[in-house]
């Protein structure tokens, strides 16, 4: 009996402490609020039941809310997500390979372009050189700058004159 008295005395003493009354009132308010919410939920459930019965009457039979197997649904969704992830990974791998291949082709084309630019520059230098030769040897007759000089176009004659900018004598022959 002494064992029971000690906790009861402690409880009475605790009730006399300052602030305990406010806590007790707060708890009472929360309990009241929860009871009101439970009552509201119960009323809503009853309304839903009445609505369901009304729908059953309209349909003319029993209407059951299907029981969803959420575990199976989540498993199916997980499998589909995994398949999509694998598919995306495969596509990314293929795209990476294509990008690498395209990069190699671009590099090869860049080398070809550089080579062609070098050849074009060389040809341009030759054209410039020939232009200088031609403009410097403007008074030459015949094939100046090519085989050199002017030739006789008469019968059986050979000519070997040298013109300006020529690299040597040339011969031409007429009809024989």
Measured in whole angstroms, how far is the alpha carbon of residue 99 from the centre of its chain? 12
| Residue 149: DSSP 8-state | S
Q: pLDDT: is 39 or 60 the higher one?
A: 39
pLDDT at 107 over 90: yes
Average confidence (pLDDT) over 96-106: 91
Report the pLDDT value the prediction gives residue 2, as an integer from 0 to 100: 53
Domain residue ranges in the chain: 13-65, 84-127
Q: Model pTM?
A: 0.33
Q: pLDDT: is 137 or 120 the higher one?
A: 120
pLDDT at 110 over 50: yes
Average confidence (pLDDT) over 49-60: 79
Residue 158 banded pLDDT, cuts 50, 70, 90: very low
Q: How far apart are CA 42 and CA 47, in angstroms?
A: 9
Q: How far apart are CA 154 and CA 176, in angstroms?
A: 9
Q: How far apart are CA 144 and CA 160, in angstroms?
A: 12
């Amino acid at each position: 009996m002494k064992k029971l008295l000690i906790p009861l005395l402690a409880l009475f003493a605790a009730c006399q402490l300052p602030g305990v009354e406010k806590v007790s009132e707060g708890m009472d308010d929360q309990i009241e609020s929860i009871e009101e919410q439970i009552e509201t939920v119960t009323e809503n459930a009853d309304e839903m039941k009445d609505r369901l019965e009304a729908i059953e009457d309209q349909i003319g039979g029993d209407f059951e809310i299907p029981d969803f197997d959420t575990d199976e649904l989540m498993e199916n969704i997980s499998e589909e997500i995994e398949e999509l992830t694998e598919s995306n990974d495969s596509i990314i791998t293929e795209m990476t390979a294509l990008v690498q291949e395209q990069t190699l082709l671009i590099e090869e084309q860049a080398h070809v372009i550089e080579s062609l630019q070098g050849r074009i520059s060389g040809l341009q230098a030759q054209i410039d050189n020939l232009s200088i030769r031609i403009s410097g040897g403007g008074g030459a007759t015949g094939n100046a700058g090519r085989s050199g000089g002017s030739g006789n176009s008469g019968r059986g004659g050979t000519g070997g004159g040298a013109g300006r900018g020529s690299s040597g004598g040339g011969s031409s022959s007429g009809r024989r």
